[in-house]
Structure 1
Amino acid sequence: MGNSLGCSASGERLVSAARDGDLVEARMLLEFNPCLARYSTFGGLNSPLHFASVKGHNEIVSLLLENGADVNSRNYCGQASLMQACRYGHWEVVQTLLFYRCNVTRADYLNGRTALHFAAVNGHARCIRLAVADFVPSVPYESIAAKSNSHRGDVTIGRGRNDHSALSKFVNKAADGGITALHMAALNGYFDCVQLLLDLHASVLAVTFHYGNSMDLIGAGSTPLHYAACGGNLKCCQVLIARGASRMALNCNGWIPLDVARMWGRHWLELLLAPVSDSTIPLFSPSKYLALPLMSVLSIARECGLQSSTISSDDMDACSVCLERVCSVAAEGCGHELCVRCALYLCSTSNISSENLGPPGSIPCPLCRRGIISFVKVQGSPGAKEIKSHMSLALCTPCVLHQCDQDCRSLCTSEFKKNQVSSVSSDLLCPVRCSPFPSVAMTMCACNDGPCPPLEPGEDGAEESTPDQQQDGSTELNKVDRERKERTTCSNMFWGKRSCSREHQCNSEINA
């Protein structure tokens, strides 16, 4: 019962090994029965890959995938292992899952959140950088920005309003209620994530919807600047304004960002957010978490594999960084050669500003410090390493980015359309003249501190306001102010009680 393997004691042992990081036990069980890699628990449908990804056990993640684990398997909430790894900031696990071609565009069943949302809500800039690796070509950053600006402003030569790059569509993908990754990062004050998302063409004009199951204490029609004003981070507000955010943007409650800052006690933002402000906005350089060579080295790694064999002592082509593996990639420009594993690690971890090294987004070479834009395969390096093919590996990245055959293209297109969140036209957004969003009277959900309280029959997550409450607005606002916490968390701001309760039940077995 439960799944194709039944309530297998060996499957539960593998789950325990994946959760505890017992590599010896996991290898022994998979040698006995490789099919255990596809086992899933009865309640939350979490696979051993989910447990290993949550805990950050990268070696066990690699072992499971080598034995045929489904890299895109979902649990009861529709969350894949990539989402769990991004939630907890395990960038090495994210790197391994990308190497096995996980589907980064998938959204969960609860709120339509992608891996990008999970990384942004907790401020994991490295995970964001890896999640967009297949969307950022290894070319100079200036050409990417210029091309994006031309697409954004040139509508007279036949390009429609919806003609955006695949990167822009992915970064601006909205979860339930129209909440984007930029909203989440701005609310929680993660400046590095906000700056990186803006460099990846996240829209400062994106607004939340007036419908959906999300609980939004700020109000529908709010921009990322409204959320940054609520979070109270000065640098986040400055960089949003520097990138074109409007101080006069009204949400459906009739609030501008200054009103939101005053309501939440962020008085230090009043001078900056005033409609007529004399505050000087500093100039922000491109994010230090941009990594242009990542796409090129990831493609080479998928083609050649991550070589783990050691070399002989008389081999002159040893990697100058690890001195253990054969050089398989070369940096364009300086020509220094590295093994593919060291090159991939370098692109995933570097956070050194590249202003003085080369174009924005270039990675400093560990040997000469010149900026690296892309890597190329060294001639004569070992050929492609065959990866075990199963259904999960057939779901490659969107075909608009890579050339593939007709069968692969049709499979990718159908999978991408099935999992993407439907875009909503700007004409359907709630205008300012609509009735106020009723979430101001909502009680806050404290899912971060424990499970949500059970819902009473007939309760839909919001209390209807009485005529007396509408007349006495100040009393109601004072009541809400007393319930607010000093630190606003994303779970408190966004997701409804039912969604949080379901997610807590699904993830409780992992974190037990």
Structure 2
Amino acid sequence: MGNSLGCSASGERLVSAARDGDLVEARMLLEFNPSLAKYSTFRGLNSPLHFAAAKGHNEIVTLLLENGADVNLRNYCGQTALMQACRYGHWEVVQTLLIFRSVVTRADYLTGRTALHFAAVGGHVRCIRLLVADFIPSAPYEVITGVGSKSSSDSSLDRRHDHALTKFINKPADGGITALHMAALNGYFDCVQLLLDLGANISAVTFQYGTSANLIGAGSTPLHYAACGGNLKCCQMLLARGASRLTLNCNGWLPYDVAKIWRRRCLESLLNPNSELSLPVFPLSNYLSLPLMSILNIARESGLQSLIAVDDIDLCAVCLERACSVASEGCGHELCIQCALYLCSTSNTSSEIVGLPDRRSAGIEWLLYRQRSSAL
């Protein structure tokens, strides 16, 4: 790829600034030559955007995108900045990239992994929730969980409109491994719970062919992978949602056999085909209640730049510095777009509670956001 847009030395300086988080240097270079935002280094064929996203330097990511960096640019492996941010769990960077319309469904060239796979393998549940934000309508907590609804058709998770979501969640990477396989293997309970609630196929099996080394065996289900990983709660969750103890993989192994081979003795009684152990009752993931679609769309329409506060415009109820641009339905608090984005991506209760949490403890995550026309 190289660099045809400007001085190579300046481009390498921008790469260094993006990698090291030097916002002052990056801003100075881009003011001198905005086209440097599209520079790709000769060594790793990564753009400054890739480096900033991988390191979690959100302000530099925003600066590069505002100066024309291609949010969907691929590196030599076919990876986008979104994949890099998800790999390392930088959810604020993921949020920014999504506001600039990064494509979540792209897969890399080497392993066929999407950003969802990278987030799942690292257990970055907030990144997973952000990646599916455009598939799930924002709704109050009661609607998300079905509390108080007249029928299942009233739920915002109704499967009438989420064929695209189901296809995305169940997209196999190299060897047929799905995001659910990865999360189950590594014992990330919150990720397993959220993926199942989003429609992950609990019976998906890895391919009988492929280039990935598969020590568990081809034809393995997420329960086989969870058995290898050894996390009790992940196995309980999968079984509670309908996973079968009796599925054989291509090695002729049951999940019970995998647990024995990998010496996961704490799982043997649970995974025994004749087990009569009772299973816990797991609620829906509380990450579903975050109203991300609403707030991301508002940010796309109004931009990330907050309004300058003046006497006739109210200050944000959170930061008390920037002008309000959105208001919450329910409590009526008015917020700037940046604080609303932060709260919508961070407020949640523990997903491991048995039973539904009290609405008061859910805080701001059950609120809807609307644009304040008077402030725009």
**Which residue is equivalent to 2:248?**
250
The superposition leaves residues 72-113 of structure 1 with CA deviations (integer Å, 9 ceiling, x where unpaired) of 011100000000000011111111101101001100001110
Aligned residue for 1:364?
363
Q: Is the 8 A contact 2:289 2:366 kept in 1?
A: no
Asked if structure 2 preserves the Cα contact closer than 8 Å seen for 1:47 and 1:75, the reply is yes
Give the match for residue 287 of structure 1: 285
Task: Select which of 315, 318, 330 maps to 1:318.
Answer: 315
SS in structure 1 at match of 2:134: coil
- Is 2:373 the partner of 1:379? yes
Correspondences of 1:191-206 after superposition (within 5 Å): 191-206=189-204
User: After superposition, what is the alpha-carbon deviation per residue over 1:226-284, rounded to whole angstroms, capped at 9, x for unaligned?
Assistant: 00000000000000000110011111111110000000010110110011112121111
Q: Which amino acid aligns with 2:169?
A: V
Q: Deviations over 1:356-391 (max 9, x none)?
A: 117xxx9523xxxxx634211123221xxxxxxxxx
Q: Looking at CA atoms only, which structure, 1 or 2, has the larger radius of gyration?
A: 1
Say which SS state the counterpart of residue 9 (structure 1) adopts: helix
Query: Of the candidates 154, 164, 167, which is equivalent to residue 169 of structure 1?
Result: 167
Match of 2:328 in 1: 331
User: 8 Å contact 1:292–1:363 — kept in the other structure?
Assistant: no
- Runs of 4 or more off by more than 6 Å in structure 1? none
Letter in 1 for 2:97: L
Does residue 266 in structure 1 map to residue 264 in structure 2? yes
Q: Does 1:349 align with 2:355?
A: no
1:193-232 to 2 correspondence within 5 Å?
193-232=191-230
Return the offset for 1:290: 2.3
Residue equivalent to 1:505 = none
Deviation at 1:338, TM superposition (A): 1.8
Preserved CA contact (<8 Å) 1:74 1:81: yes
Counterparts of 1:55-74 in structure 2 under 5 Å?
55-74=55-74
Note the alpha carbon deviations across 1:35-70, whole angstroms, 9 max, x for none.
100000123310000111111111111111110001
Q: What letter matches 1:184 in structure 2?
A: M
Number of residue pairs the alignment of both structures matches:
363
Deviation for aligned residue 1:142: 4.2
Task: State the shift of 1:351 in Å.
Answer: 2.5
Q: Secondary structure at the residue paired with 2:374?
A: coil
Query: How far apart, in 1, do the equivalents of 2:188 and 2:366 lie?
Result: 27
Aligned residue number for residue 144 of structure 2: 141
1:349 positional shift? 1.1
Q: Which amino acid aligns with 1:95?
A: Q
CA 1:344–1:291 in structure 2 vs 1: closer, same or farther (change >3 Å)?
farther
Percent identity for Structure 1 against Structure 2: 72
Taking the aligned partners of 1:96 and 1:274, their CA distance within structure 2 comes to 46
Q: Which residue of the other structure, out of 177, 181, 186, is the alignment partner of 1:179?
A: 177
Distance verdict in 2 for CA 1:233–1:343, change over 3 Å? same
Higher relative contact order (CA 8 A, sep 6+): 1
The alpha carbon displacement at 1:116 in A equals 0.5
What RMSD over aligned residues (CA atoms) do the two structures have, in Å?
Answer: 2.2
Gap regions ≥5 residues in structure 1: 153-162, 366-370, 383-512
**Residues 1:364 and 1:111: Cα distance change in structure 2 (over 3 Å):** same
Q: Which residue of 2 aligns with 1:113?
A: 113
